[in-house]
Structures are given as structure tokens and as C-alpha cells.
Structure 1
């Protein structure tokens, strides 16, 4: 029987790649160390599959198709962006589990959009390449995209409920899988706006505190207008965290790192949510 082995939140900030390692700041070194810590923990959990929840940045689907939530059920590659030291080729997929999640969802009130071939962007590609695929135990990635960056946005509670649907589908899968769920996104950031570069640490800490306490309710009570005011349009990506939390309901989290230095345009939060023993 398949089971959820653990969960993580992390950013997909590409700024780590803007300079060679010998020129990294101390903040960049701490961020890379946080990615490496999560990679080690995924290995220690003996995870076989990583479900990575990313944000539609309006570059994959464009104005002609804006799915509320989408799962990759076939070939995966990417990220399509070129980053030094990061492969852009094929990504190991688990199309059997992905198709099962989509079908299980349809049978239980969650009408997934599917992509039978998907070239992912950095919101999936960075965590896949830096955290999941370095582990020999991981034999497949399942990419999930939420409408968490481009309006119309997936409602907060629906994002959390979708995580619960993912958990139910995983537990109904007959294979022997140990699955980690990764919510990938920045916290406060103002994308393409005059405030770009601004970070609201108070808001970031509020979100991270909810993750640490395993309590999504205060986040779900926020309106999109409140999120925008306090965290900018980039903070809509906290839906990805909520989805992960929905897959590990009520489980407390442990903060790994938080950074908001001048190297970044967003607050960066890394945390692990542990499954009950």
C-alpha cells in the first residue's frame, strides 16, 4: 500500500543560479544548504515518489488555457529555463500514480486537468532537480500545477482540499510507494510591480508559523485582497503550501530556514512537515 511519508515547503527562486558558487553570498550558501538538507531528508525518508506542487506563471499554458489544477500524466522534462548546472532533459515520471490520482479525483469530486506531455518550469524543475532526483530511491516525479499565480485563482480552501484528495488517492494506490509532497513557492513578493524587491517578513513569518503549527485555517481565512496587500501578487503561491498541508492534515512542521536578503526578490521559507509515525 502506498503512503505519504512526509512533506516540505520550499521556494523555487532561481536567484541561486545567478552567480557561480565561488561568488555566492552567505545568504546564497544558506539557501543552497537548505535545498541540500531537504534532499537528504527525502533520502532518509526512503521516498520513491515526489509529488511537486507548483505555480502556473502564465508561461506554460498562456491565456488560451488556464486550468484550476493540472497534473502531468505522461512524459515530463525541464525546467525549460536554462540554469547553470541544471539539466533540462527528461525527468523521471510516475505516470501510473499520476493517472490514478487524476481518475481517483474524478470519482470523488475533483475534476483534474491533465497534461500527457509536460515541459515544466522552475517551480517544478528546481525542487525536482535539487531535492528529489539526487536520491537514488526516487524513481518518479508527479508534477501538479495550481492556479496560484494567475487569475482566476484557485480558492484557498479548494487548494487545501485538493491536498486531501491527493492523500486519499495515494492511499488507494495498490503499489508500494513512499510519497513526499512538496509545496513549491515564494512567500511575500511583488512580481513585475513597482514594489518588486520588497519583502514583508511579518507576513512571511505568519505563514511559516501556520506551517509549523500544522494549522492552515488562519491562511485560508485571508482574502486574496489581504494576501495581495500584505504579501504581493507573488504570495498567491501560498496555495501550494496549503495543498501540501492538506495532504498531511494537522501535522506540525519544522522550520529549516528563512531568508529575505538583497539576493532575492521574495521571502524564502523552507520547512518539513512530518507524517505521523
Structure 2
């Protein structure tokens, strides 16, 4: 049977790779320094597999078919968006199938993929936590995509329930090893709308959100310059007070106060990008332990509140 050895929640941003700090004291420098400390702590824990919960940013999933949850069970490949890692990633397939069976037994009809494409929403945190630079080899992962970008979204309560079922599935797995659970996303950030029902989403953008699977590379090439233009603004909106409150709730194990916000109030406080905390809620619920260490840096230049939280000590 598997042993869950801890949880790491970690923010991601495309600007981690596109706008790295020029010095340790520059925007994002504190976050990257603390991420390196977490990677060292993870190395000491010696995980045999990492379950990574994160979103997709319209690189694999589109509105032709938009599943709330997707589990990779055999092969995974990094898309390589915004300078993130591209190419094949090692997958802990036996653990993935055990997780699928456990979630099915818990009444989660989760989508699965034998060939899953993952973007920076999965790859960035996986690489930073595992301290792996290459693709082949390294600590095998089980990628679990939670839809946080394409309304309608799974409720926060449903994500917590998924997390609890995930934890039970990992613990009951035939996989004989030590498993780390990583959640990638958030915290507060404000993004342009992605809902085809929104009048602001029209023309080529709307067509790409629905039919982007026909040529995801072309869609990404057209979209990336617009995303890049959002970076580097020191006045970009980040809600550091709310981010600190959220980390505090996870430190005392109070997920109910977060889920009680509901969709609209969460977006009011944390922006449309703040919906990525669903990944943190699922991962935290899977492990079932409070955060004992956290790090936070608001980085408006990266349009995101950059946080890390762990259920184990980091030195």
C-alpha cells in the first residue's frame, strides 16, 4: 500500500520563466528562493511518485469537450507553453490506475487519458518541487487536471470531496511507495474572460476556445503574445490580504470557510485566476493535514500572488 508523505501547494505563473528576477531581491526572487528550499525538503522525503493536481489553460482541453477532471494514466507530455518544459514526462501508471479505480468506487466518473498533454499548470510546479530539469527519468508523476479556467467549474465542495476520495485511493493503492501530493495554481490574479457565453468573448477568440483542439499550436501561438503583454506591470492587481487569509485557513485545516465563499465571492476576492485554488483544496483534502510552513510573495509583475504551503517543515 502507498504512504502519503505530505502536501505541497505552489502558485504558478507563465512569467516565472518569461520574466525571471534579475536578482534574488527582484520581483519573484523570494518565491524562487523558497521554492528551492521546498525542493531540498522534498528530496529529503524521497518520494517514489508525485501526484500533481493542476489546471489546463486551453492547451489540451477546449469547449468541444470540457471535462471537470482528467486523470493521466499512461503517457503525459509537456506542451512547452511560455518556456515551460516540453516533451514526455515519466508517469506512475500503476498508481494512476489505482487512483482511477478508487475514485470510481467513490462515485467519481472521472475522465482518463492514455496520452495527456499538460501545460505549465502541471509542469511548472512538478519541475520546481522535484528539482528535475530533464523529462525522461526522474520522479514519476500522476497528473490530475482540475478544470479551473473554463466555466462552468466544478464547485469547491466537489473538489474537496474529490481530494478526500483521492487520498483514500492513494492509501489503498497497490503501488508500494511514498507519494507526495502537489497542487499547482493561484493564488489571487485577474484574467480576461474565457466563457463563450460572455459577450466580451467573441470572434476568433471564441472560435479558438471551442475549436482549438483542431490546431492547439496555432491557437497557443496567437494567444501567447497577448499573455506576454500582461506581464511586467508593478501595478497589476493582486489581493495579498486575501491570499494570506487563504493560507491561514489551510494552516488550521478550515476548508469550510473557503468553500463557503462560493464561486462569485471567491472571484470577487481572488479574481478569475483565483479559481485555481480548487487544486489546493483537493490536494489539502487528500492529505488531511494542516499546513505547517508557508511562504508568500505578491508579484504583480507576474500578475499573481505567489505562494507555497507544505504539511512538512522546510528549512
TM-score (ref. length: structure 2): 0.80
The alignment partner of 1:74 has SS state of: strand
Q: 2:259 aligns with which of 220, 223, 232?
A: 220
* 1:39/1:134 contact within 8 Å kept: no
Equivalent position of 2:270 in the other structure: 231
TM-score, L = length of structure 1:
0.90
User: Which residue number in structure 2 is paired with residue 132 of structure 1?
Assistant: 130
What residue in structure 2 maps to residue 81 of structure 1?
Answer: 81
Within the candidate set 88, 91, 95, 1:90 is matched to 88
Could you tell me how far 1:100 is from its partner in structure 2?
A: 1.4
- Report the counterpart of residue 260 of structure 1 in structure 2: 298
Superposed counterparts of 1:183-198, under 5 Å:
183-192=183-192, 197-198=236-237
Instruction: Give, in angstroms, the shift of residue 82 of structure 1.
Output: 4.6
**Unmatched tracts of structure 2, length 5 or more:** 194-199, 201-229, 231-235
* Stretches of structure 1 lacking an aligned partner (at least 5 in a row): none
Moved more, 256-265 or 89-98: 256-265
Displacement of 1:144:
0.5
Secondary structure of 2:254 counterpart: coil
Q: What is the Cα deviation at residue 256 of structure 1? A: 3.1
Q: Shift of the alpha carbon at 1:135? A: 9.7
In structure 2, what is the equivalent of residue 26 of structure 1?
26
Q: 1:262 to 1:199 in 2, by over 3 A?
A: closer
Structure 1 residues 215 and 274, CA, compared in 2 at 3 Å: closer, same or farther? farther
SS of corresponding position for 1:267: strand
Residue number in structure 2 paired with 1:17? 17
The answer (yes or no) to whether the contact 2:20–2:28 under 8 Å persists in 1 is no
- Residue 118 of structure 1 is matched in structure 2 by 116
Would the alpha carbon gap of residues 19 and 200 (structure 1) be closer, same or farther in structure 2, given more than 3 Å must change? closer
Which residue does 1:248 correspond to in 2? Answer: 287
For 1:60, what is the secondary structure of its paired residue? coil
Residue 6 of structure 1 aligns with which residue? 6
Give the corresponding residue for 2:104.
106
Superposed CA RMSD? 2.3
Paired positions, count = 271
Are residue 39 (structure 1) and residue 39 (structure 2) matched? yes
Structure-2 change in CA distance of 1:117 and 1:231 (3 Å): same
SS in 1 for 2:33: helix
